[in-house]
Every structure is written in structure tokens, then in C-alpha cells.
Amino acid sequence: MNAIGTSVPRLEDERLLLGRGRFHDGVIRPGQLWMRVVRSPVAHGRIRGVDTSAAERLPGVVSVITSADLVGMPRIPVRQPAPGMDFTPYLQAPLATGFVRYVGDPVAAVLADDPYVAEDAAELVALDIEELPVALDARSAADLELECFGGHRAEVGIIEFGYGEVDEVFAGAAHVVSTNLRVGRHSGTPLEPRGLVAEWDDRAERMTIWGATKVPYFNRRVAAQMIGLPEHRIHMLETDAGGSFGVRGEFYPEDLLVPYLCFRTRRPVKWSEDRAEHFVAANHARQQEHDIELAFDEDHRLLGLRNEAWLDNGGYIRTHGAVVAVLTASMMSGPYRLPACRSRVHIVTTNKTPIGTYRAPGRYQHNFVREHALDVAATQLGADPVELRRRNLLDATEFPHRRAIHIFGSPMVLDGKDHLEHFDKALASSEYQAWREQARAARESGRLVGTGCAFILEKAGLGYDSAIVDVDTTGAVRVAMGGANVGQGIETVMAQITAEEFDVPAESVKVVLSDTDILPDGSGTFASRTTVVGGTAVKQAAEAVVRKARRVAGVLLGADPEELRVEGGTLFAPGDPDKRLTLAEIARVCFTPAHLRNGEEPGLIGRSTYVADGMTYPYGAHFAQAEIDPGTGQVRLLRYAITYEIGRAVHPQLVRQQILGGAVQGIGGALFEEFRYSERGEPQSITLNDYRWPRASDIPEIRLDVFEDSPAPGNPLGVRGAGEGGTAGAGAAVANAVRDALQLTGDVGALPLHPERVKELLRRRDGGDADRPARDA
Amino acid sequence: MNAIGTSVPRLEDERLLLGRGRFHDGVIRPGQLWMRVVRSPVAHGRIRGVDTSAAERLPGVVSVITSADLVGMPRIPVRQPAPGMDFTPYLQAPLATGFVRYVGDPVAAVLADDPYVAEDAAELVALDIEELPVALDARSAADLELECFGGHRAEVGIIEFGYGEVDEVFAGAAHVVSTNLRVGRHSGTPLEPRGLVAEWDDRAERMTIWGATKVPYFNRRVAAQMIGLPEHRIHMLETDAGGSFGVRGEFYPEDLLVPYLCFRTRRPVKWSEDRAEHFVAANHARQQEHDIELAFDEDHRLLGLRNEAWLDNGGYIRTHGAVVAVLTASMMSGPYRLPACRSRVHIVTTNKTPIGTYRAPGRYQHNFVREHALDVAATQLGADPVELRRRNLLDATEFPHRRAIHIFGSPMVLDGKDHLEHFDKALASSEYQAWREQARAARESGRLVGTGCAFILEKAGLGYDSAIVDVDTTGAVRVAMGGANVGQGIETVMAQITAEEFDVPAESVKVVLSDTDILPDGSGTFASRTTVVGGTAVKQAAEAVVRKARRVAGVLLGADPEELRVEGGTLFAPGDPDKRLTLAEIARVCFTPAHLRNGEEPGLIGRSTYVADGMTYPYGAHFAQAEIDPGTGQVRLLRYAITYEIGRAVHPQLVRQQILGGAVQGIGGALFEEFRYSERGEPQSITLNDYRWPRASDIPEIRLDVFEDSPAPGNPLGVRGAGEGGTAGAGAAVANAVRDALQLTGDVGALPLHPERVKELLRRRDGGDADRPARDA
């Protein structure tokens, strides 16, 4: 019944297809109130007054709160502290206190009997805000001293990673290639905006919250601590979600406001984000500017990398803290033989929506910047970009490859195998050299066709997770773990991992995710960690059940527990096929006096906590072929291919879908998606007409080859994360293809490569200018 | 902060006094349907047909089901199997199949939009039942072969316990005293009748059930297995309850019908028992007839005991199986030096409501029968009843005292100390000898005043239980265990046990009872076991938390974990009062990488399962002084006293209240309460006018002395059970007082001693007849 490695039907689908999914907006509690957030229309300003009286008078309004109601409440903390960095002055309060820092900053919250009254009332809240100068460019804003942050600088701090004698290497290098690159501001923008429902139970003196999807245990902890409630008094229940991508489910101001208002009124409170709100309220991502330099010897061997980057963090430091900067800076060293590296990222606040983590945070950036710089270097060195990569990729002799860097407390050990071999396989399977030939031929015929490739380094499998596997007296198997269902098929995968141990069909396993009553602690779903870490915890919990089942069945069957064979949920003694016990039979016996043990939980239940030693580093390659319309500047992707080393695919089809979906999002950020702002800091992309999602017609068929050549040595499943590799390389491959199509000698300057920007690249190239466009905000 | 041993304010009271309790009837789910049970009006009959068509046509009726809808469903199983006894033919189906066995036997269930329609529709269900002869007396019915049980005999089986050469002892005895005694049919009759609400969740594909109070985990298991659902798909949630007394919360037909109808309709289903229904549907109890013989030597030393009893089990074997018979038969040996004993109980089905366990099951009977026979013996031997007891009670040299008997798989070891000393203390504290003098004086003045005493043997602390104690990052302490809140103050007691370990106030501890999501398994609240077994599990779980807190704090404070002092929820290193960490601080640290361990649950959480070795045997004495109105036959209690060895009182006030409340119930069964039947088996006591509860004016002030002289050696708390000792001796003491008041030479014949029966005793005594009344049904 080999469950792992089989693309079984998704457990989630029956529910979703029959309309029995439960999304936050489908949670309707008797007597529920609706919350509406009053947001700042000003990007930076001093709050002189908030007049809620007209709103409060509107029939149906139950309550209007401002920061005055939250005096003494701590600000929203970071989830992963960065050693040595104090975020305190930069943290966001649930409702703006004294100052507003971006358009969309919550200033007040209205609670009313229905959503329409709430929205009307929100418009009656009169904000008196004195506008202050706005900062919209991180690099130039770094030194500003800001009154709203108690005089602290806009630059929160600098994250630096490095090793080797970088400056010496550069001084002695045969070739140094420098460039300046920018990644645009885009984000997850899931199909279903965010939302929460909280309900107070007067008997149990506790609250149930629906809608926290990413890190429910962390969110419970923060809400409890901020409100001043025991954690036990908050019960998080799983919901379905229309996409997450790292954006949904962080602890946002609304994640405090909804439970706070519920606790204050003891009534159910619901909040459902609208699209325009989502575009200013939910975390933005990505926006960084990089100065990157590569040093080579005469044989085009990489000697060193220097990177100085500015991360446009937006108005406050949110829960991610410095994670994006850490992942950018630390992983800039990439998949290559690199004797020396210094990589710094300045975290700078500006007057835009705060940023957070979005699928492949940091890796979208570092892969784009390094891989695009390599292409620029190839041109400047007169080398072939493919060969330049082949020369420098780590090969079989170099693994495991330890960088003299610690990330999140663990040493950075690239745990894959032969990256060069992977690249060669990728070149073959993608037929990339043929694409290059075709592009060359097309260019010769006057078309603007080019190709680009990128070798990417990813990471996955962070932290720890717990799981419970329980076989009840009916033989039913339930697994509880701390991830979240955000559309990725996690229920199916966890069921497969469990089913494998019992040799039962995956569909017979019930999966419960992040129910804080059933499982006391969990780490959530982010950073491609759920299968790696949570899946391992699940496997170990299932193994514990099998161990106990063997012990009990061994006694009953008079057999050596280790010699029992587990087949189809039944344990067979050797020799006699009638000497067998089903899991249900064993479970029933476990509750009888003879099989109870002091200190051991009754029944067939297993618990596990798995603490990952460090991360695992998947890797892969992206290939693009693009054509540019010289009239409009529009980039059309003709071909796209991805290879990815997954270690082991629990559900191959889900791995493919994750990677393909991720690639579409990566392409979106490479070509289309951008949050733009006016000079006054007013967001210009608050509808889906302005914020351009990729469409089906924008995406060519993507050839995807998933390799299982290098099982991750750090976990017993051998899995590497699959969630972000499709995204991480798209910016690089697309930019390289556009650059090739335009036959630039320099870089493309910035992502996304929307028509406006491509036309400027064309103009500058054809005008003989330096082929980089001017900087824009 | 010595929490244990202090009568702290009850944690339950704020909720209950403020109207925030949640009783089953307060659970109102959107769209809920109401169930009404159609019951047999016939005590014994063959079902020829059930016509539901008129009921189904009534507007508002959703569904009407009969046994035809439940074909293939197993019958309701017993909870504690009796080795060697096959109950299968006698088990009750959720809806009567083929035959009805008592008035009230469920035949159909109606589901409707509101309770009034449901009740109207139930009356439209036409039952065609052919009446069969009824059996209302267990002893004479034993040999009947019953078609409804497939030709099996009405006698289900015989429970026998014994040791020693009984018949030889009797043959050689100087004195043999024989008597025949009957205990009436009465039961728990809590203030709040039973009820259940079940709701199906389409997303989670599971059901929540409110209202299962006694053994929720067992009930979940049975409901799951009968319906064919995984146990995990049923979530039991705690409710408050207006009394339980062993009667509420067993698995009754309704405990299947409500979840079954909920699962079938996928809609919330509610059922709320009315009083008349309760009197025929909920378990009856007690009714037994005993032939008991005592053998003495010339010095009035007990040599042997022979007991043959018939238990009137009613229509079916319900979940208790043979428990009442086992406890009657095994414990008949009592607290005395008894070289030989044979005790048999015939379990016989009749055409009345099935019986079950009710506060002090078996012990009310064995203590009454033995202690009353001792008084008869005293008269016949010319001995003083107090001295006869003193001569035969086990003394200091004889403990622990092992009877050559196993109960529920464990040896019967009386684990108290010097029973004689207890009795002497009891005589002194109750001033019983003075009562006797007063009674004698009163009798001399022509009044019918008498006194009676009884030394009782109780038992408690059966089985196993699990608990979880969790200290969250706010420092809040939560304990989850598998008992039920039935008014006894269990939340307070569990909070105290937990608080003791952390040296925090009990009121700061949140207690969660039998939430099947939070705690996967629990044994429930019955048999005075919750504090003994559940409390020990709680203590051990709290100890586990303290151990982890010591370990983590030891590292952080640089101190030997064992040397840390726990005071007020804070751990102090020796020497420096500033070297300290609160539990909240330690909990937060437990989630950081340095303190996570593979395989160990994150956080400050402790789990424990405690498996009791055997039972503990509390003991005590009851004393009564009664006066009889010669005109009406009414018995008036003038004085009452109880002493009880509790081992250790966690909450002395609750112990007192349990014992006093129990005594009132015991007195109710001794004087007032009786389910009576017509010759056709029609119940005559289906209102509180007919079924006579004791009233405040019936009960004198009860003097209660709780001793803590003999901590139970079998559990670390040293506690013995407190729930049933007040009940167990009341029948004996009251009967002995009535007998003394009437100066009978024989026995009183039967309980309850209601006026009718006492008048007959008076008539027979004064008429010179043998002073036993004729037998009645």
C-alpha cells in the first residue's frame, strides 16, 4: 500500500467540491457583530484627533474603539527575533497611536450589527491628521530620524553575513563585475482575502477563533498576551483558505482587534477583508535594491561576492522581523563554489504598507540578483552564461558543503549532492541549448527573442513540530499536527505519511490541523517546512503507535513484537495467517487492565515532537524563453522549464502543482505585479485592474522535471520542501531571457519588466545610452 | 499556600451563581430538532406492529424511527464485563425489537421542529402490542424461560464470592441467626432530568455532544461503535448537571438515539427528559432480597456468614452489567473478623425499569443486611448490639487485612487501620450511649423511641485515569482530566491538587473536565474514584510540569534543579532571592530552540496516567435515633450522626457536603422513596407526589465527624473516596433504630420503612404474630 510517492486523490477535494469547505466567511455565529477598520488616508502624519461620536450615534453601531481604548497594550511582537537587533521602536500597535505610517494604517475599529452599518459608521469616524513628509525610497531614507519612532532612524538595522577575505579577493581579482538591481514591491494577494471570526463562550470562559491559518499557535499566544487572557482561553480552529503564500495568517492588527472586541463585548465578532483593504493592509513583500559585485579569476572562477542591499520595509516592523533580510543576505552565497562572500541588507522603514514574507522570501531576491549578475558577468567576460555556471557550480566532491555561516542558530550546510550534475540533467531535459539556438535564429530574423537560465538555491524545513497519531477502537486513524490547510494539500500528505506506517489507504486517515485543543503546540505552515518538519513529527508519532501495537499484539499472539508484519492495518504473526490482530482489536485491548501501564497514555496513541537540526537546501534550475514586442514593450514567455531536487516526493502531483503555481507567482512578480505609490505615498494599485495578476494566457506550458536524486539526509522521510522553488527562480530566469532578447550588455535594472520598463530599456539601448533605465520609486 | 486541606471557595460557584452554568437544556443550536421517545405502555408484550404514518404526516415532523431503522445495529453493551457471564441475550436495543420488557421501554423516536410537535407526534405513533404475563418478583421469576430472550432464563446468572469452610463453620456454630431482608426499589432521581444535544459539523465531519456526564469517553466509544463512526468523529463537551448519583450519564437508549438521529439528518438534535419519563427511563436501583445467616461461637464471635440474594434487575441488563451484584456479594464480608463467608447474588430480570448503579450500589444493601442481621443476632444472643460489634470488628493488629477474594481483578485488601478504635471514637463523638439512655427513658415513658448503629465498609478508587497539566506562556495553569462535574465540586478539588504543586491559589487554576478533544481518554466520575484516581493522575501530571520547570530553570539560573524552591508559582535558586523565574517565564523559554528536545512535548506541559493497583476501603459508622408515631406509623428521626475515615480531605467542606447529602439520600431510601408497580407492572410513582423525596423537615441536624487517621496507602494523596459513605449506612442505622423503637425480636423485613409498613410491624408485634410483615412486590 505504498502511500508515500503515490499521487492519491486529495483528501481535501471531496469537501471542497461539495461546498462543504469552511472558509472564514462561511463561519456564521448567532448574534455576530461585524468589525470594520478605519484606516489612515495619509501616508505619514501626526494624529491630532479622532472623533468617533457621529459613528457611535449611528443605529446598529455597538462600539467604536481607538488607540485610547488600548492604552497599556503591548505592540505586536516579532515572531522570530534577530539577535542583537531591537525592533521595539518600530513595532506596530493594533491601532495607530500618535502617528500614522502608511495609507491603510488602522486608526479605529467599528463594531456594528451588520457589515453595511459597520462600513457606513467607519466613514463617519472623523480623522484629524497633520500630514508629514513621506519617505518612499529605502536607500535614501535610511538616515532619516523619525519623530514617530521616538527619534530613531528609519534604518532599523543591518543584517550581515559573510566569510572569507572578501576585500582582498576583490583587490586581487582578474575581473570584477558590478551592477545595481531592484526587485519590485509585490506580494501574495490570495484569491480569498483575510478574515477572522471570534466567539466567546461564557460557560467555558474562552474564545474560539476561526481564520488564523499560518501560525495559529503563535497568533493565539500573541492575542492572549496582548489582551491579557491565558492562552488556554483561546481555541483556534482550522478553516479552509483560498491561498496563503506566507501573507495570510501572520499576526496583523486585525488579529488583535477581532478577539479583543469579542472579549470586550462577549459577542461573536466577524471581520472579512475586502480586496482594496487587502492591498493596503496585508503584508507587501520583496522590494529591495542591491549593489552586487562578483569577482572572478582569469579562468572565470568565482572568487568573491559583495552585496549591499536596502530592503524597503514599509511603515513598521511586523512579525517577520528581519527574516527576509536574513534569508536574502545569508543565502546570497548561493549554489556556487565561492571562497569569499559579504552580504549586507539594510532594513529601512518607509511610508508604505509594511512588508513581510511572501513565497520564497529573500530567495526570490538573492537568486534574481546573483543569477542576473552572472549573466551580466558572462557578457562582460565574454563567457557563455551556461558554461560560466557549470564552471562554478558545486560538484559531487564538495557535499555536504558547509558555509561558514549560521542561519537561525544552525550552521549552513548545503545538504544536496552534485549541483553541476543537476544542472547538466536540467539542460538536457529542458532542451535549453535548443531553445538558445531557436532564439538566436529568431533574433537573426529580426525578432526580439532571448533565453535565460538560473540555478537556484532554496531552503526548507525550519524549526520543530509536534504530532499526535491516534487509532481508536473502531480502527479509525486520526493524525493531528500543527500545519495549516492553505490549498497545498497538506491533509493528503500527512495522511499519506501516516498511512505508510500502518499500510492502510491514505483516504482512511483523518487529518486535523492546528486545532489548539487537540494538539497543544504547533509551528504552523510557512517556509516550506510542513512536510519536512511536521511530516517527520507525524511519521514518528505513527511509528510510536506501531511500536505499541507490536508490543500489545506480541503479548496476545505470543510472538516477538519485532517479527510481526504490518499489512493493511493488521499485525500478522509469522507463519500462521490466522494469528493476526487488526489495529481496532489492539486498540480495544489497550484499554483493558492488563495492558494499561502507569505513566503511559491509554489506547493506541502516539505523540512526537521533532526538532530539526538545521535546514535542508533544495535546489534547481529555471529556464525561460521570451519574446518582446518592440512596439508595446510587452514580454511574452514562449517557453519555460523548471527542474527541482525534491529529495523525496510524498505526493508527486502536489509537488508539481506547488512548483507550477509558484512559478506563475514568480513570473507575476517578474513581469506584471507591482504595488505603486504616488509621490504622496498614496497606493495606486488597490484593485485587480491596477495590480496585474498573471493570466492563463500569459503563461506558457511549463515543463517541470522533479528529481529525487538526493534525499535530504536530515530527516527520516528524506523530503525537501516543495513550496517555494517554483517562485524562487522566476525573476532571475525571466530577467535573463529579457536581457538576452534585448541583447543588453548591462543589466535590466529592475523587476517587474512591465511594458513601460521594457520600452525604456529598448529606448536606451537603441539611443546608445547606458542601457539601464532611470530609477523609479 | 497549602491548597490541599483547605476549604477554598468553590471554583464552580461564580459561574453557577451568575447563571453562566451550562446545563444540557441551555445548549441551543441553530436549527435544532427535538426528539421525543415513544415508550411502551405495557410491561411485557410482543410487538405486533408500530404504525408511524399518522405521526409522519404531522407538519413539523422530520423523521420517525423504529427498530426497523436500526437493523444490524448492536445492542447497548455493558461497561464492565463480568468474567464468565454472558449478558448478550439480555442487552437492551436502543429501540425495542420484537418485545417490550417494561413500561417505558423505547419503541420509536420522533424528530420534529419543536418539542411540542414532537410530543404530539409521539402520541400519534400507534403501538400494537400483545400483552404477555409479567414477572415482578425476582426470586420467584428466576426460573422463567423467556421467549423475548430467546428462551433464556430470567435469571441471568449468579455472582458468588466466598472463602473458608462455611458450611462446616455453620454446622459447628454455637448460634446461628437467620433472617430475610428486602431493600426497596429507589434511585438517584436528580433534580435535573437527563438530556443530550448533538450537532453535526459538515466541515470537520464530526459531531459534538453536550450532556454526557458520567462516563463520556465510554459513551463516545459506544455511540461510535453502534453508529459506525470513528470515535474521533464525536466530540464530547462538558456541561453542568443538576445531580447525577450514578444514574445520569450511563449509556441509555437515548444516548444512541440522539447522536444517531443527528448523524442521519446532519442537523442538531436535542432531547430533554421530563420527570415522568425519568422515573421510567433512567436506571432504578437497589431492589434486592436477602436470606442471610450469621454463625457465632459461644463468646459471640462471628464464625461465618451465608448470604443468598436476588437482585431484581428489571427488564434488561444495562451498562453496569453485574457490578451491583459483585459489590453486594463481595463486600458482604464487611469490616469484621470473619473466618468464613459465602455470598451469592442471583441476577434476575423482571418487567420493570432496568436497574443500575446508584450512590453506594451494593454497599447500601450489604451494609443494611449485615448490620441489621447483627442487631437481630444481638437480641437473640442476649448481647448488646454495640458490644457485639466491638467484639468482632477488625483491630489494629489485623491491618492491612486481606480477604481471600478478588474484586474486579484485584485482591480485596482492607487498607484502613483499627476499625475498633474508629468505632470507639465514633461512639464517643456521637454520644451514642447517651442517645440510647434517652431512648430507653422515652420508651419507659411510653414513647416509641429507639436507636440504631451500623459500622460500614465502603470502597473507592477503582481503575485508571489520565490528566494533563499545562502552564502557558502567560503563567496560566490549566488541568484537564476525565471526570465530570455533577455538583460535587470536582473542579475545585482538581484545582487544589494542581495548585498545591505550584504553590499558587486554587482559584488561579482552570479545570477542564472530559473534553474529549483536550484529553484523549478518561474514565469518568463514578464509584468515588475521581479524587482518588483522577486526582492522583492530576498530581502526577503537575509533578511532571514541576520537574521540567526545575530542569529549565536550573539551566537558566545556574542552580541544581532539585535545590530550587517553588513558592507562589515562582522558582527560587537558593541564597539569592533575585535568582528566580516565574512559571510564565519558564514556559516562554521552553519554546526556544535551546530548550526544545526531540521527542519531548514543547512547553510546560505534563501528562500522566495513573493505574490504581486496587481499591481503597474507607469505613465509618452511622447512628440514628428515631421515634415512631404509633397512630400513623410515621418514623421521625430525632438524631443522626456519622463518622467517616476519609484518609485525607482535599476540601473538608466538600467532603462534609458529600457525606451529608449522601446521608439524606440514604435516609430517603430507608424511609420514603420507592418505585411501586401495579400487578400489571404499571409504575405507580411517576411524579414527585408519588415518589417521595425526603424533605428538609424529615432530616434532623446530622452530626458528622470526618477522620483523617488512616491515609490510603495506595495513592500518593492518601485520599479515600467521599462520595458514598453518607449513603451506604443509612438503611442499616435507620432500620436498627426503628427495630429498637418497636423493640422487635426479629427483623424489620424490608426498606423503606414508610408508615404503611411500620404500621404493619406494629400490628404484628401487638397482635403477637411473628413480627415480620408479609412480602409485597
Please state, in angstroms and rounded to a whole number, the distance separating the CA atoms of residues A209 and A262: 10
Confidence of residue B767 (pLDDT cuts 50, 70, 90): confident
Are A646 and A655 within 8 A, CB to CB?
Answer: yes
- Give the chain A residue nearest B228 (alpha carbons): A474
pLDDT for position A527: 87
A512 vs B contacts (CB less than 8 Å): 204
Note whether A272 and A217 are within 8 A (CB).
no
CB pairs under 8 A between A and B: 138
- Compute the distance between CA of residue B738 and CA of residue B372 in angstroms, rounded to an integer: 11
Q: Indicate if A383 and A454 belong to the same structural domain.
A: yes
Each residue's pLDDT tens digit, B225-284? 999 999 999 999 999 999 999 999 999 999 999 999 999 999 999 999 999 999 999 999
Q: Going by C-beta distance under 8 Å and a sequence separation of 6 or more, which residues neighbour residue B773?
A: B749, B750, B757, B760, B761, B764
Q: Identify residue A695 by its one-letter amino acid code.
A: R
How many folded domains does chain A comprise? 3
Residues B575 and B650 in one domain: no
> Which of B581, B611, B641 is the last residue before a domain boundary?
B611
Tell me the residue range of the domain where A265 lies.
31-132+193-241+248-281
Residues B335 and B449 in one domain: yes
- With b for 16 or more beta-carbon neighbours within 10 A and e for fewer, the A371-380 pattern comes to bbbbbbbbbb
On the question of pLDDT at B418 being above 90, the answer is yes
- Please state the rounded mean pLDDT for residues B637-666: 97
Q: Are A111 and A37 in contact (CB under 8 A)?
A: no
Averaged pLDDT of chain B = 96
Indicate whether B152 belongs to any domain: no
Is residue A680 located within the same domain as residue A631?
yes
Contacts of residue A343, Cβ cutoff 8 Å, sequence gap at least 6: A160, A161, A162, A305, A306, A307, A309, A328, A329, A330, A332, A333
Q: A80 pLDDT band (50/70/90 cuts)?
A: confident
Distance from CA of B496 to the nearest CA of A (A): 18
Spatial distance between the Cα atoms of A26 and A14, rounded to a whole number of angstroms: 17
A166 within domain boundaries: no
Cis check: omega of the bond before B752, within 30 degrees of 0: yes
What is the C-alpha to C-alpha distance for residues A429 and A704, in angstroms, rounded to an integer? Answer: 9
At B768 the pLDDT is 63
Confidence of residue A698 (pLDDT cuts 50, 70, 90): very high
- Residue A539 inside a domain? The answer is yes
A605 and A695 together in one domain: no
Non-local CB neighbours of A665 within 8 Å, separated by 6+ positions: A188, A245, A359, A694, A726, A727, A730
Residues B626 and B688 in one domain: yes
* pLDDT over 90 (residue A105): yes
**Secondary structure E strands in B113-152:** 126-131
A730-742 helix and A652-667 helix, angle to the nearest 10 degrees: 50
* A218, A509, A521, A585: best to mutate for the B interface, most B CBs within 10 A: A521
Chain A contact probe: residue of B517, B600, B615 with most A CBs at under 10 A: B517
DSSP for B406-437, written as a single string: EETTEEEEE----HHHHHHHHHHHHTHHHHHH
CA angle centred on A22, ends A20 and A25, rounded to 5°:
130
| One domain for residues A490 and A505 | yes
Q: Give the other-Cβ count within 10 Å of B673's Cβ.
A: 23
B280 occurs within a structural domain: no
Of A230, A473, A602, the CB nearest to B609: A602
For the cut 90, the answer to whether the pLDDT of residue A457 exceeds it is yes
CB contact under 8 A, A230 and B474: yes
Q: Are residues B567 and B435 in the same domain?
A: no
Of B582, B611, B640, which residue is a domain's last? B611
The pLDDT value recorded for residue B769 is 58
Facing B476 at nearest CB: one of A231, A599, A600: A231
DSSP state at residue A647:
S
Are residues B488 and B564 both part of a single domain?
yes
Contacts of B518 in chain A (CB under 8 A): 517-518
Asked whether residue A688 falls in the same domain as residue A539, the answer is no
Indicate the burial class of B600 (C-beta count within 10 angstroms; 0-12, 13-18, 19 or more).
middle
Q: B510, A231: Cβ pair inside 8 Å?
A: no
Instruction: Indicate whether B182 pLDDT > 70.
Output: yes
Q: Supply the ipTM of this predicted assembly.
A: 0.94
Tens of pLDDT, residues B202-211: 999 999 999 9
pLDDT of A773 higher than 60: no
Question: What pLDDT is attached to residue A769?
Answer: 58
**DSSP character at residue A670:** I
Most A CBs within 10 Å: which of B601, B605, B610, as the mutation test of the A interface? B601
Which one-letter amino acid corresponds to residue B623?
A: F
Dist CA A297 CA A175 (whole Å): 6
> What's the CATH code of the domain at A498?
3.30.365.10
Q: Which of B607, B465, B466 is nearest to B543 (CA)?
A: B607
Whether the predicted pLDDT of A72 surpasses 60 = yes
The closest of B73, B147, B66 to B107, measured between CA atoms, is B66
The distance of A510 to chain B (nearest Cα, Å) reads: 9
Is A390 inside a domain boundary?
A: yes
pLDDT at residue A462, rounded to an integer: 85
Q: Given pLDDT bands bounded at 50, 70 and 90, which one contains residue B527? A: confident
Which pLDDT band, with edges at 50, 70 and 90, does A767 fall under?
A: confident
Give the model's confidence band at B462: pLDDT under 50 very low, under 70 low, under 90 confident, else very high: confident
Residue of chain A with shortest Cα separation from B16: A203
Same domain, A428 and A467: no
Helix (H/G/I), strand (E/B), else coil: A97:
coil
CATH number at residue A262: 3.90.1170.50
Check whether B1 has a pLDDT greater than 80.
no
In a domain, B478, yes or no: yes
H-run or E-run covering A130: strand A126-131
Q: What are the E-state strand segments in B169-213? A: 175-183, 195-201, 206-210
Q: Do B601 and A607 touch (CB under 8 A)?
A: yes
How many angstroms separate the CA atoms of B42 and B682, rounded?
7
Question: Which pLDDT does position B30 carry in this prediction?
Answer: 94
For a pLDDT cut of 70, what percent of chain B falls above it?
Answer: 98
Cα A764 to Cα A770: distance, rounded to the nearest angstrom: 7
pLDDT band at A770 (very low <50, low <70, confident <90, very high): low
Tens digits of residue pLDDT in A214-273: 999 999 999 999 999 999 999 999 999 999 999 999 999 999 999 999 999 999 999 999
What mean pLDDT is reported for chain A?
Answer: 96
Three-state DSSP class for residue B47: strand
- For A410, the closest chain B residue by CA position comes to B593
Q: Let me know if residue A51 belongs to a domain.
A: yes
Nearest to A12 by CA among A599, A717, A475, A485: A485
- Distance CA(A144)–CA(A142), nearest Å, equals 6
Same domain, yes or no: A576 and A721? no
Determine if the pTM surpasses 0.90. Answer: yes
Contact assignment for A521 to B473 by CB distance below 8 Å: no
pLDDT band at A774 (very low <50, low <70, confident <90, very high): very low
Q: Is residue B2, in this structure, part of any structural domain at all?
A: no
Rg (CA), chain A: 27
- Of A226, A224, A244, nearest to A235 by C-alpha is A224
User: Closest to A510 (Cβ–Cβ): which among B202, B221, B232?
Assistant: B232
A109-113, B525-529, B638-642, range with the lowest pLDDT:
B525-529
User: C-alpha grid cell for residue B777?
Assistant: 412486590
**B777 pLDDT more than 60:** no
The residue ranking higher by pLDDT, B213 or B328, is B328
Do A609 and B603 lie within an 8 Å CB cutoff? no
Last residue of a domain, one of A258, A281, A304: A281
